[in-house]
Homo-oligomer: A and B are copies of this chain.
């Protein structure tokens, strides 16, 4: 029986038949690896995800963590699952061997981690946060900081968080007011309130290492005055509680198993990461990784929703197809109804397209070059926002395909839908991603990022069958022309940024489908037929959506600027 968590067959296709991931072992960094070791980690990921993560996904939702004023209590399965995860070595999957890491390619780590995100997004988040925290310190911390903080994280003894937002500063980090005062011994005392801190408190690990954005006394206003501090929950030497208090838990619609906290820092002892004033720059290291992680999580939740819907549609008997002549013929499985097929095929195109994008982006990290870095920069807002919208729609379709059953808590799809709703919000809302894409990424280096992206898409489209390649080439030309037009009038270019993100996102996913189509070539079998089918669906049913978006952008419409909010009601 096929897994309803994720598709190993699809991962194998994407990793080995498309991305040629085994060729990465020709690079020195991955020389100790082979297809066999990659497969072993994929195997163990599926095994642990299905055995230790999936079974408590609903229980996590029904019994969310509670705080009695003293300790955070949660179901014991979370701690067990994370212990097994740590023992697998995957916490240090991509890290250097010298730090106890596995030196796996990012693309393989990403594929492995998708199993956990699909099986139990809430429990897996603790591992994701710890990984992101450790990566930041590996890049910007001192040797000693790495030894004291990162090594225990890789071992699973410490967990990590990222403390950026405050009650008055969510999307707008320039308004962060938490302050840090330098002490004679070189440490800092950190004071302020942080909001929306995932994993901000729990008893899962011996310690929790907070990375905190704060403003040193006398630092300039705005983002340039922000520095980054390591603030452990407990003093590493004495085990005494540091000045970090859990002020409360936030109670969410979904994603309930991940504690989300309000933290009060009161004269908490912290140490600086890197240099003062460069905090946000360092934090972006973690944020970019987190954004790909969020996109990946959205794909994972959409993918598992799709697999559940597909299995249900094959099993559930109801009605006759619209083309049936005999109204008294026996009922058919609902997968035979065109509208159910529409939702399934759309969902397949979203989740497999999103998965391809997430893996493609991860592989760019494995072949570092200025070009790949530029491409990843321009893709990151799309990797983050597109799956958050469209793979969520796969979960929405999954409910619809289940009918009334899908709306009940007796079936898992309603939880996927609720869990996935967060992904358009955290780590920068969809609107923030749109501004990042149009306002920063496509303009940087004189537009080199977008030019590079379009070159890659065009090269793929030129190799694809004309029927599907030509519309994608045309869309590239249109996006390029629209972009040039927008930047001819920078004062209003950003007003319809979301339409731009939506259009660029659909074009990128069309590209991912042509890539898969080319990789499938004329290979026979249901799997490859499915790839060809979904590619055709995406290019013919989905890509045309971008026409009206680009028309709007071309029109230079400024309705959203001109309106007076008193008119809204």
Task: List A residues at the B interface (Cβ < 8 Å).
Answer: 2, 7, 10, 165, 168-172, 174-175, 195-196, 221-223, 250-254, 306-307, 310, 313-314, 317-320, 322-323, 327-328, 331, 335-342, 344-345, 348, 399-400, 403-404, 406-410, 414, 417-418, 421-422, 424-426, 429-431, 434-435, 439, 491-492, 494-498, 526-527, 529-530, 533, 536-537, 540-541, 544-545, 547-548, 551-552, 555, 557, 559-561, 563-569
Contacts and interface: CB of A to CB of B under 8 A. Distances in A.
A409 B498 contact: no
Given A254-B407, A529-B566, A545-B545, 17 more contacts: A2-B569, A171-B318, A175-B318, A253-B409, A253-B414, A253-B418, A310-B568, A322-B494, A322-B497, A323-B492, A323-B495, A337-B431, A345-B563, A404-B425, A407-B425, A529-B567, A540-B557
A-B residue pairs, 9 tightest by C-beta: A172-B319, A544-B548, A339-B431, A530-B567, A322-B494, A253-B414, A338-B560, A529-B567, A526-B566
B408 A253 contact: yes
Contact of A165 (B337, B404, B426, B530): B404
Contact of A547 (B399, B410, B548): B548
A145 B220 CA distance: 80
Given A7-B569, A174-B327, A342 B560 contact: yes
Contacts of A319: 171-172, 174-175
Contacts of A568: 310, 335, 344-345, 348, 530
A354 to B, nearest CB: 14
A429 B408 contact: no
B425 A338 contact: no
30 contacts: A10-B569, A171-B318, A171-B319, A195-B404, A252-B409, A253-B409, A253-B418, A313-B565, A322-B495, A322-B497, A323-B491, A323-B495, A338-B495, A339-B560, A345-B559, A345-B563, A348-B569, A399-B421, A403-B425, A404-B425, A527-B569, A529-B564, A533-B559, A536-B559, A537-B559, A540-B552, A541-B559, A544-B547, A545-B548, A547-B548
The secondary-structure label for the interface of chain A is helix
A503 to B, nearest CB: 12
B327 A567 contact: no
Contact of A564 (B323, B526, B559): B526
A113 B492 CA distance: 43
Residue with the highest number of chain B CB atoms closer than 10 Å, among A307, A337, A339, A540: A339
A567 B561 CA distance: 47
Contact of A422 (B335, B341, B407, B430): B407
Given A252-B408, A404-B170, A559-B540, A310 B569 contact: yes
Copies of this chain in the oligomer: 2
A526 B567 CA distance: 5
Residue with the highest number of chain B CB atoms closer than 10 Å, among A339, A537, A569: A569
A341 B565 contact: yes
A218 to B, nearest CB: 16
Contacts of A564: 526, 529
A348 to B, nearest CB: 6
B567 A322 contact: no
Contacts of A551: 544
Nearest to A7: B569
Contacts of A251: 408-410
B342 A498 contact: yes
B331 A567 contact: no
A336 B38 CA distance: 50
A326 B332 CA distance: 63
A430 to B, nearest CB: 7
Residue with the highest number of chain B CB atoms closer than 10 Å, among A221, A335, A431: A431
A403 to B, nearest CB: 5
B434 A339 contact: yes
A331 B175 contact: yes
B339 A252 contact: no
A407 B7 CA distance: 30
A403 B338 contact: no
A31 to B, nearest CB: 35
B536 A541 contact: no
A497 B425 CA distance: 33
Contacts of A417: 253, 421
A221 B328 contact: yes
Contact of A569 (B317, B404, B530, B566): B530
B404 A196 contact: yes
A323 B561 CA distance: 9
A568 B336 CA distance: 12
Contacts of A338: 494-497, 560-561
A307 B431 contact: no
A165 to B, nearest CB: 7
A530 B250 CA distance: 36
A401 B561 CA distance: 17
Contacts of A348: 568-569
A223 B319 CA distance: 12
A403 B170 contact: yes
A44 to B, nearest CB: 23
